[in-house]
Amino acid sequence: MARAVPETHAEILAAAGRRFAVTGYKGTSLQDIAREVGVSKATVLYHFANKEALLTELMAPGLAALVELDERIAGLGGGQAQRIAAEGFVDLAVRFRRQIALLRGEFPTLLRQPAFAHVQQISERLIAAFAGRSTHLAARVAALVVLAGIAETCGEFGDLGDDELRDALLGLVRRALVPPD
């Protein structure tokens, strides 16, 4: 029975986002998603080629923004790269925190998938920028911890306003990062 208004595609995507956020990508089955929407598993696979397609479509907007930030940083020197990267990443984390949340805890595993191969490289360049292009241990450690910490936790603040959260994160980043030499 076809639905009166076939917005099933969007409903499936939303349900997948919710489930991934709660039980993780690997921990969520197509059956789970189908049940939440109230359709059959076959319907999920009618709208999406496979499980991975759900994830990539869910992440597309955030990834596009990340690529854009990466391009904006390329070629910048230490101080400028650090400032732009910090502000840009915080803004990105705040705007896409619901999408980031659903990857929580599966970055390492998912980044290994071919579809996300370039994200690995981008995040490495972002960390370098966070460190102000410095190779000192303190700068590198601070960069990695702050970046990973934000990525991991920003989804927790779903109840906060964008501006509030952005200010708090920016303050933290400015205190935590080591100024470039």
Partner DNA sequence: GACTACTCTGACCGATCGGTCAGGTTCTGA
Partner DNA sequence: TCAGAACCTGACCGATCGGTCAGAGTAGTC
- Judged by the rule CB under 7 A, the positions of this chain that interact with DNA are 1-4, 6, 8-9, 28-32, 39-43, 45-47, 49-52
What is the distance, to the nearest Å, from the Cα of residue 104 to the centroid of all Cα atoms in its chain? 8
- Minimum CB separation from a second copy for residue 4, in Å? 37
CA–CA gap between residue 143 and residue 137 (Å, rounded): 10
Provide, rounded to whole angstroms, the least separation between the CB of residue 60 and DNA. Answer: 18
Residue closer to DNA (CB basis): 56 or 153: 56
Q: Tokens in use for 22?
A: 């709660």
Query: Which amino acid is it at 177?
Result: L
Distance of closest approach, residue 10 Cβ to a second copy, in angstroms: 26
Which residue, 6 or 161, is less far from DNA as judged by CB?
6
Task: Give helix 51-73 / helix 78-95 axis angle, nearest 10°.
Answer: 150
> Could you tell which of DNA, a second copy, none binds residue 145, using a CB distance below 5 to 8 A set by kind?
a second copy
Picked from DNA, a second copy, none, the partner binding residue 2 (CB below 5 to 8 A depending on kind) is DNA
Q: How far is CA 154 from the centre of its chain?
A: 10
Return the closest-CA partner of residue 150 out of 133, 171, 134, 132: 171
DSSP 65-89: HHHHHHHHHTT--HHHHHHHHHHHH
Q: What angle do CA 147, 152, 156 make, to 5 degrees?
A: 125
Residue 137: name its binding partner from a second copy, DNA, none (Cβ under 5 to 8 Å by kind): a second copy
CB of 131 to a second copy, least distance (A): 12
Indicate which of a second copy, DNA, none lies near residue 43 (CB less than 5 to 8 Å, by partner kind).
Answer: DNA
Minimum Å gap between C-beta 46 and DNA is 4
| Nearest-5° Cα angle at 149, 60 to 122 | 45
104 binds, among DNA, a second copy, none (CB under 5 to 8 A by kind): a second copy
For a second copy, the closer of residues 14 and 160 by Cβ is 160
